[in-house]
């Protein structure tokens, strides 16, 4: 409710050009599994799994993103350790193997 100068001092205020640049960055970041949400998908260390459907990508920010080719989406931080440790028992992996063998 103040002047424009007071309004621009707000820590959440951004110029329109800054907002457009961020939106372009988000569009650029969309990979083959959609747009990752870095708060729930990004990883500091490169994950490893013996599963043939497990895919790792590096984001332009330097973070790692893990994806599942059967689910066709990025995995959350909670799901990645499950894929690393229990990939042999994974029901999605069984589905993927069944699909590949029937083709």
Determine whether 87 is exposed, middle or buried from the number of CB atoms within 10 Å of its CB (0-12, 13-18, 19+).
middle
**Amino acid 45: pLDDT:** 96
Local confidence pLDDT in tens for the 103 residues of the chain: 677 778 777 877 767 665 444 445 544 455 678 888 889 999 999 999 999 999 999 988 889 999 999 999 999 999 999 999 999 999 999 999 998 888 7
Structural domain spans, the chain: 4-102
The Cα–Cα gap between 103 and 91 comes to 19
- What is the value of pTM for the model shown? 0.68
Q: Which helix or strand (DSSP H or E) is residue 60 part of?
A: none
**Amino acid 3: pLDDT:** 79
* DSSP assigned state of 10: S
SS3 content of the chain, % helix, strand, coil (to 5): 45, 15, 40
């Amino acid at each position: 409710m103040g002047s424009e100068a007071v309004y621009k001092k707000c820590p959440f205020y951004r110029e329109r050009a800054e907002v457009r640049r961020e939106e372009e960055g988000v569009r650029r970041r969309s990979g083959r599994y959609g747009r990752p949400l870095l708060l729930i998908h990004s990883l500091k260390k490169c994950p490893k799994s013996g599963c043939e459907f497990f895919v790792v990508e590096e984001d332009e920010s330097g973070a790692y993103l893990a994806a599942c080719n059967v689910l066709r989406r990025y995995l959350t931080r909670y799901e990645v350790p499950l894929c690393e440790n229990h990939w042999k028992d994974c029901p999605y992996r069984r589905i993927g193997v069944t699909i590949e063998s029937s083709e």
